[in-house]
Amino acid sequence: MTGRSTGGAPLTVGVDVGGTNIRASVVDADGEVLDTVAAPTPHSAKALDAALVRTVRELCQRHDIAAVGLAVAGFVDADRARVRFAPHLPWKDAPVARTLTAKLDLPVVLEHDANAAAWAEYRFGAAAGGHNAVLIAIGTGIGAALLVDGELYRGTHGIAPELGHLQMVPDGRPCPCGKRGCWERYCSGTALADTAIELLATDPVSSTVLAREVVREPGSLTGRRVAAAAQDGDPLAVRVLADFARWLGLGLAFVSDIFDPDLVVVAGGVSTSAPLFLDEAREHYARSVTGAGHRPLARIRTTQLGEAAGMIGAAELARAALVTAAG
Ligand SMILES: [Zn+2]
């Protein structure tokens, strides 16, 4: 129906393959989302393949699609054809690109979801013009991606940088990765709840609204709730956000010491609360980075494309692969 975008560049589909939902969008060469469909993520690999085929075919009925990109929350191999392991998806060492290409009769490329989001921000969003950029997606944990000289840095084995698992606190909070004291244990949505509980344990007389909720039902506390309480000025929640800002600034100083980026994009669910922590995080970062006061600092921005970044980036990478194949 829509055919091609203005300028004749092909339309591609970007799919965000998340643990709960699959979201697929038709994206044009300017990064505009033209059409989106969503479906729940099935629990078996076969059913997941079938759901992806159904979802993409639905979009193909309405648009002339030239290629498909998948943003996957997991480890993708170096040639971006196979999903090695994805903790919240049923694929295990699965040749996803080959399987879907055969069923859809379209080129399919895979990308780690943080890489796809970083690529979208670089091409169309908050990282535009930042040739050495770091994307930090803060949600349940921390997802990260690096752009070096305008290219995604995928490492030797295709494993995106696991900055969230830099060990910041020896013998600190236990992490699902098996280590302790990882950055994301102190700087994530999960960490907001954990810090609230920890602070209350050391200051049990505190009687704020949030403190009473934690005492009543500690297991049900979420990062979103802590952020909302901080927005309302709850003293415990405000302290939690200050602690979060400190860890974010310290972590970004680590990252800058290693990569010296010109730009950091803070994305993920927690970034929607950026007014509560970002200025303070910038101050901690500026104080903690090596050579503080005597060097240029990375600009720190929040995402422009939000939750759509993964889909848009995957679609754009699929388009770039078409151009490479044609050239
Ligand atoms: Zn970890």
Give the C-alpha separation, 52 to 110, whole Å: 13
DSSP 20-34: SEEEEEEE-TTS-EE
Give the C-alpha separation, 78 to 64, whole Å: 29
Distance (angstroms) between ligand 1 centre and the Cα of 163 equals: 9
Distance (angstroms) between ligand 1 centre and the Cα of 159 equals: 15
Residue of 97, 108, 98, 149 whose CA lies nearest to 259: 149
Distance (angstroms) between ligand 1 centre and the Cα of 43 equals: 25
Distance (angstroms) between ligand 1 centre and the Cα of 327 equals: 41
pLDDT at 258: 92
pLDDT digits (tens, 9 = 90+) for 15-44: 999 988 999 999 999 999 999 999 999 999
CATH 3.30.420.40, domain 6-118+307-326, yes or no? yes
Q: How many CA atoms are closer than 13 Å to the CA of 37, on its beta-carbon side?
A: 16
pLDDT digits (tens, 9 = 90+) for 306-323: 999 999 999 999 999 988
Distance (angstroms) between ligand 1 centre and the Cα of 143 equals: 11
pLDDT tier at 148, thresholds 50, 70, 90: very high
Contact at 8 Å (CB) between 268 and 248?
A: no
pLDDT at 302: 98
Distance (angstroms) between ligand 1 centre and the Cα of 151 equals: 26
Distance (angstroms) between ligand 1 centre and the Cα of 194 equals: 15
Distance (angstroms) between ligand 1 centre and the Cα of 167 equals: 7
Distance (angstroms) between ligand 1 centre and the Cα of 277 equals: 23
Class of domain 130-303: alpha beta
**Is 197's pLDDT higher than 50?**
yes
The answer for 306, left when phi > 0, alpha when psi is -120 to 50, beta otherwise, is left
Distance (angstroms) between ligand 1 centre and the Cα of 86 equals: 15
Q: How many CA atoms are closer than 13 Å to the CA of 176, on its beta-carbon side?
A: 9
pTM of the full predicted structure?
A: 0.92
pLDDT at 91: 94
pLDDT tier at 2, thresholds 50, 70, 90: very low
Question: Which of 157-161, 172-176, 177-181, 218-222 is least confident?
Answer: 157-161
What are the residue boundaries of the structural domains of the chain, listed by start? 6-118+307-326, 130-303
Distance (angstroms) between ligand 1 centre and the Cα of 281 equals: 21
Contact at 8 Å (CB) between 158 and 97?
A: no
Report residue 108: phi and psi, to 5°. -130, 130
pLDDT tier at 1, thresholds 50, 70, 90: very low
Distance (angstroms) between ligand 1 centre and the Cα of 178 equals: 6
**Is 290's pLDDT higher than 80?**
yes
pLDDT digits (tens, 9 = 90+) for 230-271: 999 999 999 999 999 999 999 999 999 999 999 999 999 999
pLDDT digits (tens, 9 = 90+) for 63-103: 999 999 999 988 898 888 899 988 889 999 999 999 999 99
Distance (angstroms) between ligand 1 centre and the Cα of 74 equals: 15
Give 37's strand partners: 24
**Is 4's pLDDT higher than 70?**
no
Distance (angstroms) between ligand 1 centre and the Cα of 292 equals: 28
Distance (angstroms) between ligand 1 centre and the Cα of 247 equals: 15
Distance (angstroms) between ligand 1 centre and the Cα of 166 equals: 7
Fold equal for 6-118+307-326 and 130-303: yes
Distance (angstroms) between ligand 1 centre and the Cα of 82 equals: 24
pLDDT tier at 7, thresholds 50, 70, 90: low
Q: In what order do the strands lie in the sheet with 11-17?
A: 33-40, 21-27, 11-17, 65-72, 108-112
Distance (angstroms) between ligand 1 centre and the Cα of 11 equals: 38
pLDDT at 9: 78
pLDDT digits (tens, 9 = 90+) for 151-160: 999 888 877 6
pLDDT at 157: 82
SS3 content of the chain, % helix, strand, coil (to 5): 45, 20, 35
Q: What percent of the chain shows pLDDT beyond 70?
A: 96
pLDDT tier at 205, thresholds 50, 70, 90: low
Distance (angstroms) between ligand 1 centre and the Cα of 284 equals: 22
Distance (angstroms) between ligand 1 centre and the Cα of 168 equals: 10
3-state secondary structure 107-167: CEEEEEHHHHHHHHHHHHCCCCCCCCEEEEEECCCEEEEEEECCEECCCCCCCCCCHHHCE
Mean pLDDT of 285-305: 95
Distance (angstroms) between ligand 1 centre and the Cα of 92 equals: 21
